């Protein structure tokens, strides 16, 4: 097992998470969620899952089962910013596919999503593009979430602007939740 120093920092944090939750019913989900938040790149890395398994005596296959069931969990390093495009029926009819296609300005993004991946991260780890089945905000379709903030009735023009702002580090107060 890898015991390099930067992993050790994680270990302390994971130990702390385990000590707060271990043994309580349904604690696995909470521990995994907090572990992912603790990770610099917001994902469940292999070592962390192995460590959790050993410390809580939870079989690795079960941890992986949970991690792959919930789309919330990431098994790959995530970008600094996350854009989530809703692909539910309402958003689809209101043009969410077009918004997704607008992401093709990011090299490799379209190919990854077309191949059935539900997430794509740019090589510089600046941006992650994901899809979800439904946000439950169908009246505001199409809906996009950027770093946890929901944007509604999003147009192609707006998403390109958001993308540009994220890439250039600009803040834009003109695109808000409507």
Residues forming the site for another protein (CB under 8 A)? 46, 49-50, 53-54, 59-65, 68-71, 75, 116
> From the CB of 144, what's the least distance to another protein, in Å?
22
Closer of 30 and 62 to another protein (Cβ): 62
Closer of 50 and 153 to another protein (Cβ): 50
> From the CB of 103, what's the least distance to another protein, in Å?
22
Closer of 12 and 133 to another protein (Cβ): 133
CA pair distance 27, 128, nearest whole angstrom = 28
> From the CB of 70, what's the least distance to another protein, in Å?
8
Closer of 28 and 126 to another protein (Cβ): 28
Closer of 119 and 166 to another protein (Cβ): 119
């Amino acid at each position: 097992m890898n015991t390099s120093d930067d992993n050790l920092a994680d270990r302390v944090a994971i130990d702390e998470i385990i000590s707060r939750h271990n043994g309580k019913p349904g604690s696995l989900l909470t521990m995994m969620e907090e572990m992912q938040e603790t990770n610099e790149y917001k994902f469940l890395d292999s070592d962390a899952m192995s460590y959790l398994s050993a410390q809580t005596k939870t079989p690795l296959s079960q941890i992986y089962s949970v991690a792959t069931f919930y789309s919330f969990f990431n098994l790959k390093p995530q970008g600094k910013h996350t854009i989530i495009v809703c692909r539910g029926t309402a958003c689809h009819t209101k043009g969410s596919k077009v918004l997704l296609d607008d992401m093709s300005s990011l090299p490799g993004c379209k190919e990854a999503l077309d191949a059935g991946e539900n997430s794509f991260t740019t090589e510089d780890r600046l941006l992650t593009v994901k899809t979800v089945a439904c946000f439950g905000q169908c009246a505001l379709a199409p809906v996009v979430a950027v770093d946890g903030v929901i944007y509604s009735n999003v147009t192609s023009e707006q998403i390109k602007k958001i993308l540009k702002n994220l890439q250039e580090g600009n803040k834009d107060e003109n695109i808000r939740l409507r």
